[in-house]
Amino acid sequence: MKLSAKLPAIAIASAILAATGVGAGSYVMVRSTAIDQALLAMDAITTDGSESLHTYFDGIRRNLEFMAADPMTRDAVTGFSSAWATLEGTASDTLQAAYIANNPNPDGAKQKLDASGGGTGYDTVHARFHPLFRKLQEAEGYDDIYLFDTNGNLLYSVAKGKEFATNVNTGEWKDTDLGNAYRAAADSFSFNPIQFFDFKPYAASGGAPASFISTPVVDDSGNKIGVLAYRMPVDRLNAAVHKAKGLGETGELMLVGPDRIARTDSPRTPENDVLKTHFKTPAIDAAISGKVGSGTYTDETGQVRRIIAEPFEFNGTPFAFVMTKSVDELFADVRHIRNGMLLIGLVGLTLAGLLGWFAAHAITGQINALVGSMRSLADGETDIELHGETRGDEIGDMVRAVAVFRDNAVERNRLEADQKGERERQNERQDSIQAMIAEFEGAVQSILDNVGVQIEAMEATANDLTAVAGDTSGKAGAAAAASEEASTNVQTVAAASEQLASSIGDILQKVAQTADVVAKATAITEQTNREITGLSDAAQKIGDVVSLIQDIAGQTNLLALNATIEAARAGELGKGFAVVASEVKSLASQTARATEEIATQIAGVQASTTVAVDAVGSIADVMREVNEYTATISAAVEQQGSATTEISGNIQQAARGTGEVATNVAGVTASIDETTQSAQQVQLASTELSAQSEQLRRTIGDFLKNVAAA
């Protein structure tokens, strides 16, 4: 396979491998991140929805507690109970006939009737309180509001259903959760007054889902006079669950009961799911048991859905707050990312293939042109033209290598022509050499004769120089010995002076360190004196504050006494205030006793602080005197050190002078020795030169004979 096919194939294969590796790694990372973000979003929506539902249920509970404690509710229970007792015949038959059978409003709108017009005491009480409870029922969306007496009689109902004016202890509806809610509240204790019953089919409403929450109603003395109950609104519960944002097209939130059956309706299904749709998933089982559960399941339509279930509890009843979403929608971003990366990879591979083809064509075109030039050069053509010598790549190296072959061929042709002319010039040069040899022989003979004369003169001068150098060397040796002895004595004195200066320097350093330590101790003592003085002032201020607290405690005690007197005057209404006033008075007395004890402790602190201030002041005075003495000693030692240093410097200078004299004498001696050696070397050199001159004479003679004979 030619390079024109190999190079594009290699480029495309490399691009495929790189794109596959990078794309696969990037997709795995991006897919993991996208999945994590989708699951985190589901968790956040589920948590927000759960908190919102908690807020909704807590609002119902607080509203029930508030209404049960409202004087209007107590008055309504008392009024309806009294009116119930005045009704002739069977109260249940009378009220159901007046407010249900003879009610001009259709079923579902019976609450619009404020009074039946019968002129009974019940009608009067109903006309007074019904508009208020109806307004509450419409505002909060409750299915119904009930008032019971302590005998189980349902005295009042806003909606006027079948259970109205019956007895839930003995009547038709005694086994419903409304009866259970009444009895639980009637038997409840003050620490757990709220009773809740989960959604179940309610027979009085044709089996519709119903949940009840109830609490006792007590009078001012704390005696139970009845029960207030709400029928929980299913529609409002659905709205509270479904108002979450970010659910998408297939996402939904649901409340599931401990029986794993839905308590809210799903907007995805046409039928009502409340108390009908059953969930069998481990995630909901985990949530009911108090743990967060998650996983996937296949719904009734065959769609795979992701589920997250969080524990939800209201008034002791466990629920599962659930979010589900189609896996296809949940991970749609992952598919979009995958498809986008595949498209980008395909485009990248196409571009890489085109780029590889163009690059291969550019390379193989240059190589083919270079092959043609090499064939021409092999055939003996040296006038070929090469292109690409300036390129910096391997093709440029190949072109330049072929250019070297071409230039070598041109140079070889030129050298063959030059060798022919060179042989002709060689013969002419031989004749000239013979003439120059004869002339050179005469000139060399004359020069060698002159060299011999000069060698004899140089030997005589070297002998004279050796004699003078020997005499001078003896005198220089005596001078060097005297200088060495003087230098040794001066060095001894200089060493003693340096040792004395060093000792004085050490003493000066120790004195300086002692002065620093004393100065620091003085500063710390003065700082301690200031801080203890500040502590004395702070103790005095604390004493002032304690006195102020004692005054306030006294005034508080007096005010509590006055409040107790006023509460006693108020009689029954002031009992609670009297208890508070008594507690305030007790706290004021405790405050007074505590502040007296604090005042005693502060007085002790002030006395101790005064003694500490005096002691630290005395220490500070002594440290200042020590600091002054140390400064005087330091100045004296420093002056002595300066004088010793000056003496040592002068002696060192004298030592350096004698040292220089000895050095100079030694230098003279060395120079004389070198002169003697040089004179001896000159003698040897002149002798050797004479021998070499004679040898040179014989060598040149032999050379000229050989050249002439050649």
Residue 480 has pLDDT above 60, yes or no: no
Contact between 143 and 210 (Cβ < 8 Å) = yes
- Write b or e for each residue in 464-481: b if 16 or more Cβ atoms lie within 10 A of its Cβ, otherwise e: eebeebeeebeebeebbe
Residue 421 has pLDDT above 70, yes or no: yes
Residue 642 has pLDDT above 50, yes or no: yes
Listed by start position, the domains of the chain span: 70-237, 247-330
Q: Using CA atoms, how far apart are residues 430 and 79, in angstroms rounded to an integer?
A: 160
Q: Give the chain's mean pLDDT.
A: 78
Residue 27 has pLDDT above 60, yes or no: no
Residue 203 has pLDDT above 80, yes or no: yes
- For residue 19, the model assigns a pLDDT of 63
- Type of residue at 355: L
- For residue 341, the model assigns a pLDDT of 72
pLDDT tens readout for residues 77-120 = 999 999 999 997 789 999 999 999 999 999 999 999 999 988 89
What are the angstrom distances between the C-alpha of 146 and each of 141, 155, 280, 479? 14, 8, 36, 140
Residue 65 has pLDDT above 80, yes or no: yes
- For residue 614, the model assigns a pLDDT of 74
The model's confidence at residue 287, banded by pLDDT at 50, 70 and 90, is very high
The phi, psi pair for 701, rounded to 5°, reads -60, -45
Helix and strand totals (H; E) in the chain = 11, 9
Contact between 208 and 202 (Cβ < 8 Å) = yes
- For residue 493, the model assigns a pLDDT of 47
pLDDT tens readout for residues 230-260 = 999 998 999 888 887 878 888 899 999 999 9
- For residue 622, the model assigns a pLDDT of 58
Contact between 358 and 382 (Cβ < 8 Å) = no
Model-level pTM?
0.49
Q: Using CA atoms, how far apart are residues 349 and 357, in angstroms rounded to an integer?
A: 12
Q: Using CA atoms, how far apart are residues 276 and 243, in angstroms rounded to an integer?
A: 22
The model's confidence at residue 648, banded by pLDDT at 50, 70 and 90, is low
- For residue 695, the model assigns a pLDDT of 80
Architecture of domain 70-237: 2-Layer Sandwich (3.30)
- For residue 632, the model assigns a pLDDT of 72
The model's confidence at residue 608, banded by pLDDT at 50, 70 and 90, is low
H helix or E strand, kind and range, residue 639:
helix 575-709
Same CATH topology for 70-237 and 247-330: the answer is yes
Bridge partners (DSSP) of residue 307 are: 295, 324
H helix or E strand, kind and range, residue 253:
strand 252-256
In the predicted model, what is the mean pLDDT of residues 36-52?
88
pLDDT tens readout for residues 654-704 = 557 656 646 765 664 676 577 567 657 756 866 776 777 678 678 777 766
Print the SS3 string covering 438-502: HHHHHHHHHHHHHHHHHHHHHHHHHHHHHHHHHHHHHHHHHHHHHHHHHHHHHHHHHHHHHHHHH
In the predicted model, what is the mean pLDDT of residues 641-647?
63
Q: Tokens standing for 298? A: 């296949």
Q: Using CA atoms, how far apart are residues 337 and 343, in angstroms rounded to an integer?
A: 10
pLDDT tens readout for residues 8-17 = 677 677 667 7
Q: Dihedral, CA atoms, 483, 488, 490, 493, nearest 10 degrees?
A: -170
CATH code, residues 247-330: 3.30.450.20
Residue 301 has pLDDT above 90, yes or no: no
Query: Which positions ≥6 away from 185 have C-beta within 8 Å?
Result: 193, 195, 214, 215, 216, 227, 228, 229
Contact between 683 and 459 (Cβ < 8 Å) = yes
